[in-house]
């Protein structure tokens, strides 16, 4: 995989460089609530602009259905990118049409343009190779060189991620190089004890990575909504908590395998319950209480791991040399149910080992709860991509950058 440093050494002055970024930021009322993914691509964009390239930044945002949708416009992301760069950024109101060509043609060396949401075009996400290829051809007409730096999308076989690199000289940006380097630390020559904390809502999203980690991790800590399928598998009452009953046989098998292989697989010993899911808009205080995990009342919903579990998990993380954390321990967006997630985040901050926050909601939680991002070894920009890498899958966007 060639890197951007090799591209810069070859010289990019006046060249049109297409940067596939990940500007898929959360929006509320048209305002960006977390600009972490935009900041993550800054080193690549700055380096190219400083070297005299004409930089074309492209990304998806949300899941529009292959047609323009103002709710998913990249304009707020383009404006924020310009603020962070401290320089004007041109914005094209289409992706491969007249506006995009006009914006690119108007660039001087060192200037930057952002084209509209790639997913406004059906060809971007099409499962038909020909349709995807035709869209990739139109994207290729905008540029001379391709730089892949959207790590959050490398697990997708999409036109701008997989097909476009085959049509242009291609290089990995700084973010992708960093992300791959970090993930190698979690899969090759791992320093032990190696502790993995997994949360989030659906256990089905994490089964494949648990399967892989049972042969690699020393301890696996389970939290979030997915924990209730494990607790149900142990025969516990889980009330009205999130439950994937069809996954009970799988989690039962994994618990048995963990015991046989000497892997500590820890479940919550207590949980915070409430009669109903809280209002995340008003964040109004709700009736809630901590109960033993084996004694959940019927009709109550588990929304966070309890204080005993938070302390237990912090203790199990204390001596870790390597930590991977993916998925919050509870509904961290509401202050009544954020303590479990805070406990895990604080344990990572206090740990002297190498800690990786595996993107997605975990990264959002770190920022939402006010932690210093620099206190962690690495905060990934791609939750799904990180998990699939750890599952041992070939990621299309990385394979496309290899020669």
Cα–Cα distance for residue pair 10/50, rounded to 1 Å: 14
Residues 6+ apart with CB under 8 A from 393: 155
Cα–Cα distance for residue pair 18/12, rounded to 1 Å: 12
* Catalytic, out of 39, 157, 202, 308: 202
Cα–Cα distance for residue pair 74/58, rounded to 1 Å: 9
Phi and psi at 327, nearest 5°, equal: 105, 130
Three-class SS of residue 288?
Answer: coil
Cα–Cα distance for residue pair 267/231, rounded to 1 Å: 7
- Please confirm, yes or no, whether 360 is among the known catalytic residues: yes
* Catalytic, out of 148, 382, 384, 397: 384
Q: Would you call 273 exposed, middle or buried from its count of C-beta atoms within 10 A (0-12, 13-18, 19+)? A: buried
CB neighbours (10 Å) of residue 145?
A: 20
Token pair for 2: 């060639």
* Catalytic, out of 123, 306, 360, 382: 360
Q: Would you call 130 exposed, middle or buried from its count of C-beta atoms within 10 A (0-12, 13-18, 19+)? A: exposed
Crossing angle (nearest 10°) for helices 36-50 and 75-85: 60
Crossing angle (nearest 10°) for helices 360-368 and 339-350: 90
Distances (CA, A) of 266 to 218, 253, 365: 11, 15, 22
- Please confirm, yes or no, whether 82 is among the known catalytic residues: no
Residues 6+ apart with CB under 8 A from 13: 51, 52, 53, 109
By the 8 A CB rule, do 267 and 233 touch? no
Cα–Cα distance for residue pair 199/62, rounded to 1 Å: 22
Cα–Cα distance for residue pair 297/238, rounded to 1 Å: 8
- Please confirm, yes or no, whether 191 is among the known catalytic residues: no
* Catalytic, out of 15, 20, 37, 232: 37
- Per DSSP bridges, beta strands 322-326 and 354-357 are parallel
- Please confirm, yes or no, whether 15 is among the known catalytic residues: no
Task: Write out the catalytic residue numbers.
Answer: 37, 202, 360, 384
């Amino acid at each position: 995989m060639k890197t951007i440093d090799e591209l810069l050494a070859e010289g990019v002055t006046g060249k049109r460089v297409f940067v596939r970024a990940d500007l898929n930021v959360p929006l509320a009322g048209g305002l960006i609530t977390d600009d972490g993914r935009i900041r993550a691509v800054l080193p690549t964009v700055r380096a190219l602009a400083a070297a005299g390239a004409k930089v074309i930044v492209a990304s998806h945002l949300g899941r529009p259905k292959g047609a323009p949708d103002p709710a998913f416009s990249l304009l707020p992301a383009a404006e924020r990118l310009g603020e962070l760069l401290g320089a004007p950024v041109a914005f094209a109101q289409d992706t491969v049409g007249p506006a995009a060509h006009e914006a690119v043609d108007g660039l001087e060396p060192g200037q930057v343009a952002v084209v509209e949401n790639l997913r406004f075009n059906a060809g971007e996400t099409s499962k038909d190779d020909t349709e995807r290829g035709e869209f990739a051809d139109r994207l290729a007409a905008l540029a001379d060189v391709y730089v892949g730096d959207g790590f959050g999308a490398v697990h997708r076989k999409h036109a701008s991620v997989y097909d476009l690199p085959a049509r242009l000289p291609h290089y990995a940006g700084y973010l992708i190089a960093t992300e791959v380097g970090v993930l190698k630390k979690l899969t090759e020559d791992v320093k032990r004890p190696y502790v993995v904390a997994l949360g989030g809502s659906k256990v089905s999203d994490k089964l494949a990575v648990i399967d892989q980690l049972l042969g690699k991790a020393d301890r696996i800590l389970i939290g979030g909504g997915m924990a209730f399928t494990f607790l149900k598998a142990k025969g516990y009452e889980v009330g009205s908590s999130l439950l994937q009953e069809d996954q009970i046989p799988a989690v039962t098998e994994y618990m048995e395998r963990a015991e046989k292989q000497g892997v500590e697989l820890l479940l919550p010993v207590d949980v915070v319950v409430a009669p109903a899911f809280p209002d995340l808009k008003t964040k109004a205080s709700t009736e809630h209480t901590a109960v033993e995990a084996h004694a959940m009342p019927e009709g109550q919903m588990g929304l966070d791991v309890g204080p005993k579990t938070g302390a237990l998990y912090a203790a199990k993380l204390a001596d870790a040399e390597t930590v991977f954390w993916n998925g919050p321990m509870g509904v961290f967006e509401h202050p009544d149910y954020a303590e479990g997630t805070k406990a895990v985040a604080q344990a990572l901050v206090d740990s002297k080992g190498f800690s990786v926050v595996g993107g997605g909601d975990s990264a959002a939680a770190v920022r939402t709860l006010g932690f210093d991002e620099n206190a962690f070894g690495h905060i990934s920009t791609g939750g799904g991509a990180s998990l699939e890498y750890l599952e041992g899958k070939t990621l299309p966007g990385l394979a496309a950058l290899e020669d």
